[in-house]
């Protein structure tokens, strides 16, 4: 039962969190919000410790947090912002909870990991010599790289799960163009063009945009299906570069080093 102080605390949460609260409350009787800053490795580790302390199973992990085309900036750990928030934080979170996901799944009811990517990944290039984009910064390039990294990560992790016989599936999804605040960082000329474009091709609502993620997370036809890129409810071919197994392994090794993890 929620206390009055808990309700008061929720009233001070950002509107998006309150919407999530109200939506989830329609389906389940209890849930809990735990703060985590994916741009901070320490914050991710603290979240993992708090979650582990509850002794709960974990059946679905959706890596959905992200930012798009922000000006060049560094996180508290010194990483380029897109790379840290869109990819590395999720990489650390997933690997830190992977043993729980393995234990929670079983044949016929596997645990699921869903990584939310973007069509922009098709234009992405992963520069292993400059993942933080220090040599030449482009907000579009940094965003595209982070979303391609998520797809590379998806395929490599699924390969590990399959090879080890673990009851966990990993998929990447593309929600399409969704009318959210992600576009707020576009500069004025692009925003003007966006208004004209969206008048001709209206974007999806947030609820519609979430449908592909929900499909990958809970649909019965996705049971046992992993290593896929899903767009608009259909399995689609991702960028050719995302299937490069050598690049997948190289990025995995480097990511473990950056996140302070032991390579599997």
Active-site positions read 143
> If one looks up domain 59-259 in CATH, what number appears?
3.40.50.720
What is the pLDDT at residue 12? 46
Q: Is the pLDDT of residue 229 over 50?
A: yes
Are 240 and 185 a contacting pair, CB within 8 Å? no
Which pTM value belongs to this model?
Answer: 0.82
Burial 144-178 (b: 16+ CB within 10 A, else e): bbbbbbbbbbbbbbbbebeeeebbbbbbbbbbebe
85-115 tens-digit pLDDT: 999 999 999 999 999 999 999 999 999 999 9
Flag whether pLDDT at 83 surpasses 70.
yes
Is a pLDDT exceeding 50 seen at residue 121?
Answer: yes
Residue 180 has pLDDT above 70, yes or no: no
Q: Where are the domains of the chain?
A: 59-259
| pLDDT for 30 | 66
Give the total residue count for the chain.
Answer: 264
Helix (H, G, I), strand (E, B) or coil at 230: strand
């Amino acid at each position: 039962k929620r206390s009055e102080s808990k309700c008061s605390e929720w009233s001070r949460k950002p509107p998006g969190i309150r919407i999530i609260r109200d939506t989830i409350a329609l389906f389940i009787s209890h849930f809990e919000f735990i703060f985590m800053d994916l741009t901070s490795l320490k914050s991710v580790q603290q979240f993992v410790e708090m979650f582990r302390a509850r002794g709960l199973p974990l059946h679905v992990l959706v890596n959905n947090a992200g930012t798009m085309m922000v000006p060049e900036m560094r996180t508290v750990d010194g990483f380029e912002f897109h790379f840290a928030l869109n990819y590395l934080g999720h990489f650390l979170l997933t690997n830190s909870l992977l043993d729980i996901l393995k234990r929670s799944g079983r044949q016929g009811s596997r645990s699921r990991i869903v990584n939310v990517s973007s069509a922009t990944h098709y234009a992405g290039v992963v520069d292993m010599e400059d993942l933080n984009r220090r040599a030449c910064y482009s907000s579009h390039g940094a965003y595209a790289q982070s979303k391609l990294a998520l797809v590379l990560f998806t395929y490599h992790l699924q390969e590990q799960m399959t090879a080890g016989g673990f009851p966990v599936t990993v998929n990447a999804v593309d929600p399409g163009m969704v009318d959210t605040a992600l576009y707020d960082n576009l500069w004025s000329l692009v925003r003007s063009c966006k208004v004209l474009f969206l008048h001709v091709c209206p974007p999806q609502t947030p609820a519609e945009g979430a449908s592909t993620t929900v499909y990958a997370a809970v649909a019965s036809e996705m049971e046992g299906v992993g290593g896929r890129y899903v767009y608009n409810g259909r399995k689609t071919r991702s960028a050719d570069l995302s299937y490069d197994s050598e690049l997948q392994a190289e990025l995995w090794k480097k990511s473990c080093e950056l996140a302070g993890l032991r390579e599997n």
